[in-house]
Structure 1
Amino acid sequence: MCEGLQRDYQICEEIGRGRFGTVYRCFSQESGEFFACKSIDKRLLADSIDRECLEKETKIMLLVSGNPNVVQLFNVYEDDAYLHMVMELCGSSDLYERVSKRTFSEAEAAAVMSPLMDAIAYCHRRGVAHRDIKPDNVLFDDRNILKLADFGSADYFHEGRSMRGIVGTPYYVAPEVLSGRDYNEKVDVWSAGVIMYIMLAGIPPFYGESATEIFEAVLRANLRFPTRIFHSVSPAAKDLLRRMLCKDVSRRFSAEQVLRHPWITSGGGTRLLSDLA
C-alpha cells in the first residue's frame, strides 16, 4: 500500500471489485470522515491503451468533481504497482438496486432524472461525455443525494471532434455507437432516456434474449409505449422519452434541453401536450 495513502487514511473493508482493482472503505485520520478508495493494480493493465484510459479517468474526475451530483475525487496516490483514488463514499443503494424492485411514479422518476441530467449537462459543458450512463453508475449518498459515478469509459469531445469506439452497456448504448460511426455527447442523453423508460415501465425499451438481439433492437430504435404499461403515464413523459430516445441525433435533445422540458421543470407533474409547444 502506498506510503502517502497509509499516512492519511486507514483502509477498512472491501466494498466493491472491478476488472483492474478493488474499492475499499477508508477513514481519514485528519477529518474523521469515511471515504471510498479505488485501488487499481497497474500490473493488470494489458497495454498502453488501458494505462491511457486510467490516466484519463483521473483527469476527467478532477475536471467534473465540482458538481454536487457527481462523485467527488479528493486525492490521488500512486506508486510503482498501484494507483489509489480517494473518492466520496456513497453508502446508500444504487439506482439499479432500486429499479429492480419496482416501477417509479412520475414524480419519483423526475426526482432522479433532474439531478442526473444536471450532472450530465455539467460534464458536457466541460467537454466530457460519460459514455456508460446506466443505473449501476447512479449512486446515492447517505442523504439520498444522487451521484453520477464511474468515469472509466468517459472521453473528451469538443467542437469539431467527435468520438469513436464501442463502449457502454447493451440495454443503454445508443444506436450510433453500435453502428461504428463517429458520435457525440448525445449518447449520454439516449442512455439517460433508457433509464427514464425503465423507471416508469419496469422494462427496457429495446429488449432481446442475448446481447446480439439487444443490439439489433437498439439499432432499429422502434420506440413503443405498450398501453397496458403506459396507460397512466402522462403525455409529457412520453414526449420527453421520444425526444431523448430519438435515433436521429440531430433531432435528439441535448442534456440542457432535457433540463428545460416541462416534465422535468414541473417535477414530473402531468402536463398536456399543448403545454409543450
Structure 2
Amino acid sequence: MPPPTASSKARVYTDVNTQKSREYWDYDAHVPSWSNQDNYQLVRKLGRGKYSEVFEAINVSNNEKVVVKILKPVKKKKIKREIKILENLRGGTNIIRLVDTVKDPVSRTPALVFECINNTDFKTNACSAVLSRLLQALDHCHSMGIMHRDVKPHNVMIDHQMRK
C-alpha cells in the first residue's frame, strides 16, 4: 500500500465537521462558563503531566467525589479548544464526563472538573475488553469530527467495579 499523500482523504467520517454548525468547531469563538472553584475541595494529588496536575477532590455542595485537572499556563486558545471538545463529546460512549470548569479568582488559573472513575491498573487478560471500549470511545470521537492525538495508557481510565 503506498504511503498517504497530503491530499489523502479519510475513509470514514469524512465530512463530519462540514455538516456541523460553526459553533461546533470554532474553538476560538467559544466562551467557556467558569464556576467558583470554592465548590471543590482538593483531597490528594493523583498525577501530573506536561500541561496539568490532577487531583482527587470533593464537590462540597453534594459530597460527590470528582477529579480536578488544574491546567498549567498555556495559550487561551488551547484551553478553549479542550473545553469545547469535552463539551462536544459529553455523553459519548466511554467518554469521561466533564462536570464543570472553574477558575481561581486571584491567579485566574483554569481547572477542569471530571466525574471520578475508580481507576485501577489492569491485567493482561482484561486487555481485550479494555481495547474494545477504547476503540468505541475513539470511534465516537472520530464520528464527532475530533481526533484524540494523545492516546496512551495514562489517558485511559478503567473502573473495574462498574465494568467501564
TM-score tier after normalising by the smaller chain length:
0.5 to 0.7
- 1:69 maps to which of 80, 86, 94: 94
- Structure 1 residues 174-195: Cα deviation after superposition (integer angstroms, max 9, x where no partner): xxxxxxxxxxxxxxxxxxxxxx
Distance 1:137 1:22 in 2: 13
CA distance in 1, matches of 2:112, 2:68: 5
1:124 aligns with 2:142: yes
Aligned to 2:114: 87
SS in 2 for 1:59: helix
Q: Deviations over 1:155-178 (max 9, x none)?
A: xxxxxxxxxxxxxxxxxxxxxxxx
Gaps of 5+ in 2: 1-33
1:14 aligned partner: 45
**Is 2:143 the partner of 1:115?**
no
> Pick from 110, 113, 122: which aligns with 1:98?
122
Structure 1 residues 143, 109: closer, same or farther in 2, change over 3 A? same
Q: What amino acid does structure 2 have at the position aligned with 1:76?
A: T
Structure 2: which amino acid aligns with 1:52? K
Shift of 1:141: 2.5
Q: Indicate if the aligned counterparts of 1:92 and 1:144 stay in contact, CA closer than 8 A.
A: no
Q: Offset at 1:23?
A: 1.1
The AA in structure 1 aligned to 2:122 is: R
| 1:90 and 1:142 in contact (8 A); partners too | no
Residue 68 (structure 1) shift: 4.4
1:144 is displaced (CA, Å) by 4.5
The Cα of 1:128 is off from its aligned counterpart by 0.5
Moved over 6 A (4+): none
Residue 140 (1) aligns with residue 158 (2): yes
For 1:121 and 1:3, the matched residues in 2 are separated by: 31
Q: Distance in 1 between matches of 2:160 and 2:118?
A: 6
C-alpha spacing 1:41/1:143, structure 2 compared with 1 (3 Å):
same
- Are the aligned partners of 1:10 and 1:28 in contact in 2 as well (CA < 8 Å)? yes
The aligned counterpart of 1:239 is none
Q: Please tell me the root mean square deviation across aligned C-alpha atoms, in Å.
A: 2.3
TM-score w.r.t. the length of structure 1 is 0.42
Q: Distance in 2 between matches of 1:53 and 1:28?
A: 26
Query: What SS is found at the alignment partner of 1:30?
Result: coil
1:26 corresponds in structure 2 to 57
Letter of the structure 2 residue corresponding to residue 5 of structure 1: Q
Alignment equivalent of 2:71, drawn from 16, 36, 40? 40
- Given that residues 55 and 69 in structure 2 are in contact (C-alpha distance below 8 angstroms), is that contact kept between their aligned partners in structure 1? yes
Gap regions ≥5 residues in structure 1: 147-277
Identity %: 26
How far apart, in 2, do the equivalents of 1:145 and 1:58 lie? 26
Structure in which a larger fraction of residues adopt strand = 2
Structure-to-structure mapping, 1:250-265, within 5 angstroms: none
8 Å contact from structure 1 (residues 11, 27) kept in 2: yes
